Structure 1
Amino acid sequence: MLFLCLAVVLFNTGRTNGLSFHSFGNEFEYIATEMNESLVNFDTSAVKTSWMRQPVNHFDPIDTRTWKMRYFQRHDMWKPKKPIYLFLGGEGPASPVFLKTGIMYDLANETNGAMFASEHRYYGKSKPFQNFTSENLAYLSARQALADSARLLKLIKSMPKFRSSKVVVVGGSYSGNLAAWMKLLYPELVDAAIASSAPVLAKKYFYEYLETVSDDFEQYGPAGCWDKIAAMFSRYEKLFQSDDGIETLKVEENICDSCDMSKSENRELFFMEKASQFMYRAQYGNPGVIKDYCESNFTSNFRKVKNQNLIWNERSECYYYDFDEMIVSIRSIDWLTAWIYQTCTEFGYFQTGSSDDQPFTKNISVEFYYRMCTKLFGPDFNEERVDRGVRDSNKLYGGLKPNVSHVVFVNGDMDPWSRLSVLEDLSYESPAKIISQSSHCRDLFSDRESDHEELKDARAYIRYLIKDWIGEGNYKKP
């Protein structure tokens, strides 16, 4: 979600008072970076940056305040009466890379389509307010963002040249939710949708996330890997049970002397950071990545896992686990504040360690996330508020059974987020596609030489479905 998603709490750009907080960031950051690496000598003049006025509140006609939403467009491949493709922005800055490569680009190239990419309100440069107070964040929701996209599509369709064009929306992770929900709430505007790795079920206790990480390492790691993980985390847990053990752990893990590791929330930060190494590789990796990590005794690097340690004190050159300092740093990172607000008010998605079917112990509790919500946004953002948001989201959008047609739900079977997605066909016109040995949002990329055949075949199947649904037929089914 997508990511991000809130698999862990911080990304590697936050710095406050000499503290660096590290995690793996949002989906768009990761996907856009990897897609960009495949581009060579792209003519950037083909993509235009545009802005559109949007209401602060679509659902209050008395509120006349507006703000400017950023979006990108590219029309050089378009021919009259051909389709419109819109890549929906998610929990991070929008990127023009989705108009240069990837499955949407491939579809536009094959059908002479026009391409657009929107930026989600409160992310990137599309900010209704500069100050992210709880009061100002009240207008941040999927429902408001969907209304933004609907107004953008209406603007596009008002242009004479696009009036007869079919509309396809595309999204991955949280924006994959939005793609499916656009077809649900605005069927008159959207003809087809790709919902990639979309966790459409809002859920408070997302214990299944670590279960899937566990399954990935058990299935693809060499013999004994899972047991080594379990032994390592069990030892951490045992050391935290005594003062001497904590001192031993501080020396071994280079934890700052001033850290009070007797506090439960600081211990949970430690376990979250340690588990995030495995979470990242399950969410974005492949069987080879997992095998290499196990064989390296959990030291090998993987893409953007740079200094994949939650807190580093540059002055003292030690790791500093402090919940209150974490809250301060989150407030300095707008996109992260915004995404946590959405999890606290709409989706939950709290990856806890409450399951017995995983080796990372039970030292990441749902109470940790409640404390984060109330510390960031105020006492009203408590468990009851989370429960209400989760309930309302599933009621509005339909959870795992959204009432949609002409939407394809795509998931990699390695992806922990797939546990909240549609994995069985809803109908003949709303199929689910599961790709073996594949991770988060891999179907959104263009084919690469290193991709296995099932992944390439899945992309061909998705393109076939979309072209069939929008009347660009006469294509052989893969």
Structure 2
Amino acid sequence: MLFLCLAFVLNYLLFTNGLSFHSFGNEFEYIAREMNESLDTFDSSAVKTSWIRQPLNHFDSNDKRTWKMRYFQRHDMWKPKKPIYLFLGGEGPASPVFLKTGIMYDLAKETNGAMFASEHRYYGKSKPFDNFTTENLKFLSARQALADSARLLKLVKSMPKFRSSKVVVVGGSYSGNLAAWMKLLYPELVDAAIASSAPVLAKKDFYEYLETVSDDFEQYGTADCWDKIAEMFSRYEELFQSDTGIETLKMEENICTNCDMSKSENKELFFMEKASEFMYRAQYGNPNVIKDYCESNFTSNFRKVREPNLIFNEKNECYYYDYDEMIVSIRRIDWLTAWIYQTCTEFSYFQTGSSDNQPFTKNIPIEFYYRMCTKLFGAEFDEDRVERGVKDSNALYGGLKPNVTHVVFVNGGMDPWSKLSVLEDISYDAPAKMISQASHCRDLFSDRESDPEELKDARAYIRYLIKNWIGEGDYKNNTIWL
């Protein structure tokens, strides 16, 4: 949501002024960075940075306030009457990398298309306000962001050279939702869409996330890995039962002596951080990553090494768990504040430990997230507000059955987010594609020599669908996908 995941708040942020996390950034930025690393060289002059002025509130004509949204464009491969491709921004900075490599680039190259990449309001440099107060955040929503993208497309299509061009929107994770929803709400503007790893179903208690992580480690880990994970978390639970046990835990895990680990919210923070080590590898890894992690981290003597990317105090001398300090630190990070606001008001996606079908912990309750919403945004952002947002989102967008055509929903079998995505064909013109041993958004990348054939075939299938939907297909080869 890469991409968008509250579980990774605890393990992958870079906090300052007393509390520090190793930072991998958010999902959207993670995908962009990995794509960028796959490039050898690129002439940056081919990509132009542009700005468009957007209404602050698309749905109140009396509000005349505006702000500037950033987007990137590339036209050097375009030929007259050929398609327009728009990569929709998600919960992080927009990146020109999507115009340099990846499935959208491959499609543009094959069809002589023009490419654009938009930046989502409140992320990157597209900020309507300098301060992210609760009052200022009320204009942050998927619905407003979709209207931003529609306005951008109208501007592009108003140019004489693009008036007859077909439009394809592309997105992954949360921006994959936006791709499907653009086709839903603006069918007159969008001809086809790729919704990669898109959790289109808003859900309050997303307990299935850890269930899928559990399944991945059971299926792809070493023979005893799942049992070792269960043993490790069971021992943590046991140590928390007494003051003596907590002192032992502090010593073994190098937790700062001034951390009050008897507080339930600090205990929950500890378990969330420990579980996220496994969540990250399931979401972004592959079978070999999981197997290697099991082999390198678990031995017959229990746990071999401790991850270095955990919570430290300001002097990096010990691990520091304090829920209230975490809240203070979150407020300093604009993109994170914005994304948590969206989860509290629209989607929830709260990854809990409420399921019995996972070896990790029960100590990640949904109250962990409710508390975060109220502490960050105010008492009115409580359970009822979260539930209302989930219901409203599913009612507006259709949940797992959006009323769309010419949208392909793609998921990886290892990806925990797939549990909230479309896994069965909605119709002949809205198919679902599952890639069994792929993780989050892997279909958005260009082919690599090391990629499994199943993944390469899936990308070829996606390109085939899109090209045929916009009249650019090779109909001589229709039968290969029938």
Give the TM-score band, short-chain normalised: over 0.9
**8 Å contact 2:411–2:434 — kept in the other structure?**
yes
Contact 2:406 2:429 survives alignment (8 Å): yes
Q: Deviations over 1:38-80 (max 9, x none)?
A: 1112000000000000000000000000000000000000000
CA displacement at 1:9 relative to structure 2 = 1.8
Q: Map 1:57-72 onto structure 2 (within 5 A).
A: 57-72=57-72
Give the match for residue 327 of structure 2: 327
1:317 matched to 2:331? The reply is: no
Which whole-Å deviations, capped at 9, do the CAs of 1:369-425 have from their partners, x for residues lacking one?
A: 000000000000000000000000000000000000000000000000000000000
Counterpart CA distance in 2 for 1:312 and 1:99 is 37
Structure-to-structure mapping, 1:31-430, within 5 angstroms: 31-297=31-297, 307-309=308-310, 311-315=311-315, 317-430=317-430
Given that residues 8 and 23 in structure 1 are in contact (C-alpha distance below 8 angstroms), is that contact kept between their aligned partners in structure 2? no
SS state of the match for residue 168, structure 1? strand
Equivalent position of 2:431 in the other structure: 431
Deviation at 1:436, TM superposition (A): 1.1
> Following superposition of structure 1 onto structure 2, how do residues 445-456 of structure 1 map, counting pairs within 5 Å?
445-456=445-456
Matched to 2:309, the amino acid is: Q
**Distance apart, 1:16 and its partner CA:** 2.6
The answer to whether the 8 A contact 1:10-1:22 is kept is: no
Displacement of 1:4: 1.3
Match of 1:116, SS state, is strand
- 1:474 aligned partner, one-letter code: D
The SS at the match of 1:373 is helix
Label 1:315 to 1:474 Cα distance change in 2 as closer, same or farther (>3 A).
Answer: closer
| Per-residue CA distance 1:290-327 (angstroms, 9 max, x = gap) | 0000011259xxxxx98421x21132610110001000
SS in 2 for 1:411: strand
Query: Residues 103 and 446 of structure 2 are in contact (CA less than 8 Å); yes or no, is this contact kept in structure 1?
Result: yes
3-state SS in 1 of match to 2:35: helix
Distance 1:366 1:185 in 2: 32
TM superposition shift of 1:12: 4.3
Aligned residue identity for 2:84: I
Contact 1:10 1:23 in 2 (8 A): no
Distance in 2 separating the partners of 1:120 and 1:298: 41
Structure 2 CA distance for aligned equivalents of residues 462 and 432 of structure 1: 10
SS of equivalent to 1:70: strand
- Taking the aligned partners of 1:48 and 1:136, their CA distance within structure 2 comes to 30
Distance 1:474 1:3 in 2: 32
Q: What is the CA-CA distance between 1:18 and the residue it aligns to?
A: 2.9
Alignment CA distance shift 1:57-1:298 (3 Å):
farther
Aligned partners of 1:2 and 1:185: how far apart in 2?
A: 24
SS at structure 1 position matched to 2:318: coil
Deviations 1:62-101 (A, max 9, x none): 0000000000000000000000000000000000000000
Gap change, CA 1:312 and 1:173, over 3 Å in 2: same
Instruction: Name the aligned partner's letter for residue 62 of structure 1.
Output: N
SS in 2 for 1:195: strand
How many residue pairs align between the two structures? 472
The answer to whether the 8 A contact 2:3-2:31 is kept is no
Moved over 6 A (4+): none
Q: CA deviation at 1:105?
A: 0.0
Q: Give the alignment's TM-score, normalised by structure 2.
A: 0.96
- Residues 101-154 of structure 1: CA deviation (Å, up to 9, x unaligned): 000000000000000000000000000001000000000000000000000000
Matched residue SS, 2:134: coil
The aligned counterpart of 1:302 is none
- SS for the counterpart of 1:9 is helix
Which SS does the other structure have where 1:405 is aligned?
coil
1:2 Cα shift? 3.7
Q: Could you tell which deviates more after superposition, 255-264 or 33-42?
A: 33-42
Other-structure match for 2:303: none
Q: TM-score, normalised by structure 1?
A: 0.97
The structure-2 alpha-carbon separation of the partners of 1:333 and 1:347, relative to structure 1 and needing over 3 Å to count, comes to same
Residues 394 and 37 of structure 1, relative CA distance in 2, 3 Å threshold: same
Q: Distance in 2 between matches of 1:180 and 1:10?
A: 29
- Structure 2, unmatched stretches of 5+, are 300-305
Cα distance in 2, alignment partners of residues 274 and 421 from structure 1 = 26
Secondary structure of 2:15 counterpart: strand
Query: Which 5+ residue runs of structure 1 have no aligned equivalent?
Result: 300-304
Q: Could you tell me which amino acid in structure 1 is paired with residue 196 of structure 2?
A: S
Q: Distance between the aligned counterparts of 1:316 and 1:42, measured in 2? A: 38
CA gap 1:243/1:196 in 2 versus in 1, 3 angstroms: same
Q: Quick one: distance in 2 between partners of 1:110 and 1:259?
A: 57
How far apart are the structure 1 equivalents of 2:135 and 2:237? 39
SS of 1:337's partner is: helix
What is aligned with 1:460?
460
- 1:21–1:158 distance in 2 versus 1, CA, 3 Å: same
1:422 and 1:266 mapped to 2: Cα distance? 36
Q: Percent identity?
A: 86
- AA aligned opposite 2:406: H
Q: Distance in 2 between matches of 1:136 and 1:298?
A: 47
- In the alignment, residue 403 of structure 1 is paired with which amino acid? N
SS at match of 2:422: coil
1:52 match: secondary structure: strand
What is the CA-CA distance between 1:24 and the residue it aligns to?
4.1
> Aligned partners of 1:23, 1:208: CA distance in 2, in Å?
25
Amino acid at match of 2:174: Y
CA distance in 2, matches of 1:33, 1:94: 11
- Quick one: which amino acid aligns to residue 248 of structure 1? T
CA-to-partner distance for each residue in 1:174-202, whole Å, 9 max, x for gaps?
Answer: 00000000000000000000000000000
Deviation per CA, 1:260-318, whole angstroms, max 9, x where unpaired? 0001110011001100110000000000000000011259xxxxx98421x21132610
Aligned-partner residue type, residue 198 of structure 2: A
The answer to whether the 8 Å contact 2:414/2:439 transfers is yes
Residues in 2 aligned to 1:276 and 1:87: alpha-carbon distance in whole angstroms: 28
SS at match of 1:214: helix
CA RMSD between the two structures: 1.3
Matches of 1:460 and 1:402 in 2, distance apart?
Answer: 24
